[in-house]
């Protein structure tokens, strides 16, 4: 498939997924601490895939979405199998960098999801084009952000895809697809690797989608260009999560980001220290369910996180840092 044809594929195929509903209001008065209940919770898992992102969403009805697929073919596949995922309804690529799409072609070949979401950014590589060919070959419906926010119903979990910011031809990170996940009053902000210019654009154009999110997935693996005080003031998360490889060559997360979060009293959960991080919500309260050591502590403080990370790091074998060409 030529580049032109790939672009045409995206330009032509626009599908609107109907938004079918919110979590039922009669979910019961579940409050913290978690009391369990009759319905399955929604789960958001930041998968341990090394230096990259891969975020798995499961709705209470069993609908599934994978936002990014990490840097390698094996990483995402292994993680999804470990999660017991038999089908994927939606896969998304936050932006066209290989630490986010490296595992996606294999995921598409094996799971054959129904929908593929990615931006129209012109930034491309041979590997990315091969991924697009797989999307076409498997008959997967390609969708993309538009000039207005669009809602995707994943069962009773609602994903709002931000309007696409103007294309940045120099810095692909700023072409990240922004997504806000909402389930009742629980929400998660997924800003890809969006750096200051894109985050500023979001704050200006989509302030309500950015503000007051329960959980923030840090942009750009905790890089200093992925978080700033103004951004944190707007998002006001109760918890931050970030995905990066152990001893990665970029120094992620950067100390500036870590101290910003500390000053704001926002605990940070990192995949390089904790492995896969999973958070459950019943649409009202939330809790960390993995790593198991942290789950016992309920809603964790930074001290809890540090203690668990220290005990996990002591036992775990040291993985070599994965090298990627992405900043």
Where along the sequence are the contacts to Zn ion (CB under 5 A)? 99, 193
Kindly state the smallest distance separating residue 97's Cβ from Zn ion, in Å: 5
Kindly state the smallest distance separating residue 310's Cβ from Zn ion, in Å: 26
Kindly state the smallest distance separating residue 63's Cβ from Zn ion, in Å: 26
Residue 197 vs 298, nearer CB to Zn ion: 197
Kindly state the smallest distance separating residue 67's Cβ from Zn ion, in Å: 12
Rg of the chain's alpha carbons, rounded to an integer?
18
**What distance in Å separates the CA atoms of residue 325 and residue 222, rounded to the nearest whole number?**
17
Residue 193 vs 272, nearer CB to Zn ion: 193
270 CB-near residues (< 8 Å, 6+ apart): 222, 241, 242, 243, 244, 253, 309
* Cα distances (angstroms) measured from residue 133 to each of 77, 111, 139: 19, 16, 10
| Sheet containing 239-242: order of strands | 150-154, 157-161, 179-183, 186-190, 215-217, 239-242, 268-270
Residue 99 vs 206, nearer CB to Zn ion: 99
User: Is the CB of residue 96 less than 8 Å from the CB of residue 64?
Assistant: no
Residue 143 vs 218, nearer CB to Zn ion: 218
* Nearest CA-CA partner of 223 in 203, 194, 184, 201: 194
**What distance in Å separates the CA atoms of residue 162 and residue 191, rounded to the nearest whole number?**
9
* Nearest CA-CA partner of 20 in 73, 63, 57: 63
Kindly state the smallest distance separating residue 139's Cβ from Zn ion, in Å: 29
Residue 42 vs 54, nearer CB to Zn ion: 54
Residue 168 vs 193, nearer CB to Zn ion: 193
**Judging by DSSP bridges, how do beta strands 90-92 and 286-290 pair with one another?**
unpaired
Kindly state the smallest distance separating residue 323's Cβ from Zn ion, in Å: 13
Residue 179's DSSP bridge partners are 161, 190
Residue 99 vs 195, nearer CB to Zn ion: 99
Kindly state the smallest distance separating residue 223's Cβ from Zn ion, in Å: 9
Write out the DSSP string of 58-113.
Answer: E-TTS-EEEE---SSHHHHHHHHHHTT----SEEE-SSS-HHHHTTHHHHHHHH--
């Amino acid at each position: 498939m030529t580049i032109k044809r790939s672009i045409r594929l995206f330009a032509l195929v626009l599908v609107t997924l109907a938004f079918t509903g919110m979590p039922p209001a009669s979910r019961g008065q579940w409050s913290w601490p978690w009391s369990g209940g009759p319905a399955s919770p929604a789960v958001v898992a930041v998968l341990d895939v090394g230096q990259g992102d891969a975020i798995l969403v499961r709705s209470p009805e069993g609908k599934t979405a994978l936002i990014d697929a990490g840097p390698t073919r094996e990483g995402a596949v292994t993680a999804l199998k470990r999660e017991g995922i038999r089908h994927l309804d939606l896969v998304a690529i936050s932006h066209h960098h290989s630490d986010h799409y490296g595992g996606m072609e294999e995921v598409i070949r094996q799971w054959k999801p129904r929908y593929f979401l990615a931006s129209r950014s012109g930034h491309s590589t041979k590997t990315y084009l091969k991924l697009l060919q797989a999307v076409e070959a498997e008959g997967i419906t390609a969708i993309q952000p538009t000039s207005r926010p669009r809602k995707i119903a994943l069962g009773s979990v609602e994903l709002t895809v931000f309007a696409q910011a103007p294309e940045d031809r120099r810095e692909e990170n700023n072409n990240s697809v922004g997504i806000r996940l909402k389930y009742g009053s629980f929400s998660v902000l997924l800003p890809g690797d969006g750096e200051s210019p894109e985050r500023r654009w979001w704050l200006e154009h989509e302030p309500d989608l950015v503000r007051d999110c329960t959980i923030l997935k840090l942009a750009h693996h905790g890089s200093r260009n992925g978080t700033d005080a103004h951004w944190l003031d707007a998002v006001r998360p109760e918890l931050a999560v970030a995905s990066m490889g152990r001893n990665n060559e970029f120094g992620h997360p950067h100390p500036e980001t870590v101290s910003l979060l500390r000053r704001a009293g926002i605990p940070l959960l990192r995949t390089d220290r904790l492995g896969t991080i999973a958070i459950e919500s019943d649409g009202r309260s939330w809790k960390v369910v993995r790593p198991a050591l942290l789950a016992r502590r309920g809603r964790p403080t930074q001290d809890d996180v540090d203690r668990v990370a220290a005990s996990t790091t002591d036992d775990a074998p040291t993985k070599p840092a994965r090298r990627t060409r992405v900043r």
